[in-house]
Chain A
Amino acid sequence: MDTSAVEIRGLTKRFPKFTLGPIDMTVPAGAIYGFVGPNGAGKTTTLDLIFGLGGTDGGTIRVLGLDHVRDEVAMKRAAGYVSPDLNYQAWTRIDRAIGFVRGFYPTWDDNYCQTLLSAFHLNWRDAIATLSFGAKTKLSLLLAMSWRPKVLVLDEPTIGLDAISKQQIFGELLGMVRDGERSVLMSSHNLTDLERITDHVGMIKSGRMIFEGATSDVVERFRMVDVEATHAAALAEQAGITVQETEGLRGRVLVDQRQVSVDHLRARGVTVLSDGPVTLEELFVALGRA
């Protein structure tokens, strides 16, 4: 049995001006999953819904096989959520915030908490109000990681962090999934970093999932191709083609090789001038702006 860390099926949520879904999402056990999408695509809404922040209008959400509403308590014992909205200021000092959160979780690991404190350069007695923005983010992460959740969900964990802090956090996340049983689902705009450290990636746009899969498979599936054709703009009609630019007979198109091959374009009388790979970031821009 290989229960997914998170399994979302047909999730729908309607707002007056925006509809999320229906979306499917699968975070395999043991994976680090990068959840990407343009601002306002529905990433935070999706993550919030997993943790019951707001009701759904359809679909199912399972975390480690547990229904997120029916088995809420068991699920919240296994899954932690760190959102940028968390604020521990009320506990005034790091040790008090730790003491508070620690009390809720029988699985709290004091040694690991200590390791994270030194890795993140946080001090037991620091006043929370004096912490930098980045240090506050690290504190939120520490409070969620120290009870060793099986599934850790992070909304923009590296927003506003310097490159050194980012690398530290990614290092800790990779360390966390070392045992192959823990999983991380995180939304982020750090596409270069995500391409390096995630096993899986999913992109949503306007509330719909537009691709999902193993990061390397997804990135290799797409090619950026420059073409010359008597009807370059008409290529937009072809499934699997996203036109990026056209200038006269020239066109630059993103090709989803799962739907159409570059050879197929040649066979249709299109002259291929260049054909190259894309990075996750380039893929994001190519699909996100269209």
Chain B
Amino acid sequence: MVAPPKKLLIGPLSAAGPGTLYQQIVDGLKREVSEGRLPPGAPLPSFRNLAADLLVSVITVKRAYEELEREGIIYRRQGLGTFVADAADARSREVKKAHARELIQHAVREASEAGLAHREITDLLHEIIIAEGDAVHGHKRR
């Protein structure tokens, strides 16, 4: 059996990446979960170990774990460690959906402020969906 990756558990954390490092850890772990590479019940490294592997402070990983725990994507068992929750996949999608909704809301507000009509906004959205088509398709789960 191949040991699970440590330093390469999630994509690279970079100051040049989107969001704070802690957000990048949250997003990275969610991606691993939603794409099935971290199945329900899979153990996660302790936050001190993950911090050393990712070269970030313990507090950053701790914060990311706390957020994932709040969202029901992972759970902690005293003395045993941290694991991917059952149905983490579905929860992860719920959270992503809520976030996407927020972003679209924001985009619509911006577009309205720029004086775009409803029709123009939906056309724009449509255009983007088609342009993103391949990327979206590529991200379909399994």
Contacts and interface: CB of A to CB of B under 8 A. Distances in A.
A177 B58 CA distance: 9
Given A180-B48, A198-B57, 6 more contacts: A167-B55, A171-B52, A171-B55, A174-B52, A196-B60, A214-B59
A229 interface: no
Interface of B: 15, 21-22, 48-49, 51-52, 55-60, 63
Interface string A147-183: 0000000000000000000010011001101111000
A174 B55 contact: yes
A282 interface: no
B57 A196 contact: yes
Interface string A117-133: 00000000000000000
A178 B6 CA distance: 14
9 contacts: A30-B58, A32-B57, A177-B48, A178-B52, A196-B15, A196-B57, A197-B56, A199-B59, A215-B57
A199 B51 CA distance: 11
Nearest to A172: B52
B51 A174 contact: yes
A197 B48 CA distance: 12
Interface residues of A, number: 20
Going nearest first, the 4 A-B pairs with the smallest beta carbon separation are A174-B52, A199-B59, A175-B52, A178-B48
Contacts of A197: 55-57
Given A177-B48, A196-B56, A197-B55, A216 B22 contact: yes
A192 interface: yes
A281 B107 CA distance: 31
Given A177-B48, A178-B48, A196 B55 contact: yes
A196 to B, nearest CB: 6
Contacts of B60: 196, 216
Contacts of A170: 55
A196 B21 contact: yes
Contacts of B21: 196
A199 B58 contact: yes
A80 to B, nearest CB: 19
Contacts of B49: 178
B63 A216 contact: yes
B78 to A, nearest CB: 15
A277 to B, nearest CB: 9
A175 to B, nearest CB: 5
Contacts of A32: 57-58
Contacts of A177: 48, 58
A220 to B, nearest CB: 9
Nearest to B46: A178
Contacts of A171: 52, 55
A196 B56 CA distance: 5
Interface string A13-54: 000000000000000001110000000000000000000000
Contacts of B58: 30-32, 174, 177, 199
Nearest to B51: A174
Nearest to A201: B57
Given A178-B52, A180-B48, A192 B15 contact: yes
Contacts of B56: 196-197
A216 B63 CA distance: 10
A192 B57 CA distance: 12
A214 B60 CA distance: 10
Contact of A216 (B15, B55, B59): B59
Contacts of A216: 22, 59-60, 63
A174 B55 CA distance: 7
Contacts of B51: 174
A170 B49 CA distance: 14
Contacts of B59: 199, 214-216
Interface string A195-224: 011110000000000000011100000000
